Chain A
């Protein structure tokens, strides 16, 4: 299966590039893709991973003087048919939770999305966006949407079509993602990091181990990490 998986990026492996994964969540047609496209503007070709029903947008930027490669994950519409597969959440560092101010049901569904997110990623930062504020009277921004307040999540009124707050919101998402990666206290993340460190040690003992070896051994350790997580989970319950 290693070959089949090769098209999906890894985020816990440090192979020279500092990578973070930001996922977009929310009902169909709330404008998740449009927001990412607005932020990236022209010149970005999203990568369609149709086998997985995913769209990936890659963005290179700098956070605190450090080069960061950000992958925005978007759902490509399978959420219309079923729940998101757990792999969508896997290794995510930040979540942008979007609803459409013109469709109340998309706001009412936020708790469901949030619950599912927390099931897989209990501690990653999550931002809430009220999209399409250009579509209604801007007075909507005076309305209070309690969901974000209740869960103490940063909240933005945004418009993918006129750009209001889009850059600001995405900058915060990227910074939160990097901040999370740096300071995570999440158990599974720490296990992953430990395993990466072990990997580095074993590599440094290997004389002249090439890049290929590094790739292979990291792959093996990912599998071990899955087992480790499973054991950890049963141990704590």
Chain B
């Protein structure tokens, strides 16, 4: 695998990402916007989503087994139509994907706040595995905060491949 990339290991990096987010929130006068119609929305949704995406694909490409810290027992994934639940099942799927090298290049990241303070993230990009030609992909996340750290509650992945 990729030795020397352990700096990006979730165990080190992810809590820092969580802290950064908390600090940046503190600079605002109101941390969250509470409203009867909109629920409790996080005003930092855009930077949270973008920081997450940046971190996620760096970690995925360096050593995807280290993504384990981002999923929880109740996290869900739909990978090419296959539904999985729990960090364990999700990691088993990700680690068993049959390629040695992978590189994600993100084209667009779009974020929206959810009513429970989480963040909805939609990614469009390209990925390249081993010697294959690049493929388009689309991935959607729902990020939630457990009070101290962000984690992935939902993860939906599709290659953008059309039928003929």
Give A residues with C-beta under 8 Å from B. Answer: 4-5, 8, 27-29, 48-55, 76-78, 80-82, 85-87, 90
Contacts and interface: CB of A to CB of B under 8 A. Distances in A.
Given A82-B80, A82-B81, A85-B163, A50 B133 contact: yes
Interface residues of B, number: 19
Contact of B98 (A27, A51, A87): A27
A48 B132 CA distance: 11
Contact of B161 (A5, A85, A90): A85
Given A28-B129, A90-B164, 14 more contacts: A4-B162, A28-B98, A28-B132, A48-B133, A50-B135, A76-B132, A76-B135, A77-B129, A77-B132, A77-B135, A81-B79, A82-B80, A85-B164, A87-B164
Contact of B99 (A28, A49, A50, A87): A28
Interface centre among B79, B162, B164 (most CB of A within 10 A): B164
Contacts of B97: 80-81
A27 B130 CA distance: 13
Interface of B: 79-81, 97-99, 129-136, 159, 161-164
A5 B164 CA distance: 6
A51 B133 contact: no
27 contacts: A5-B164, A8-B164, A27-B98, A28-B132, A29-B131, A50-B133, A50-B135, A51-B162, A52-B162, A52-B163, A52-B164, A53-B161, A76-B132, A76-B133, A76-B135, A78-B135, A78-B159, A78-B161, A80-B98, A81-B80, A81-B97, A82-B81, A82-B159, A85-B163, A86-B163, A87-B164, A90-B164
Where chain A touches its partner, the secondary structure class is mixed
Contacts of B135: 50, 53, 76-78
Nearest to A27: B98
Nearest to B79: A81
List the 5 closest pairs (A to B, CB-CB), nearest first. Answer: A77-B132, A82-B80, A8-B164, A53-B161, A87-B164
B3 to A, nearest CB: 22
Contact of A55 (B98, B133, B164): B133
Contact of B134 (A50, A55, A82): A50
A235 B163 CA distance: 26
Contacts of B81: 82
Contacts of B133: 48, 50, 53, 55, 76-77
A164 to B, nearest CB: 22
Contacts of A4: 162
B94 to A, nearest CB: 11
Contacts of A29: 98, 130-131
B99 A80 contact: yes
Nearest to B135: A53
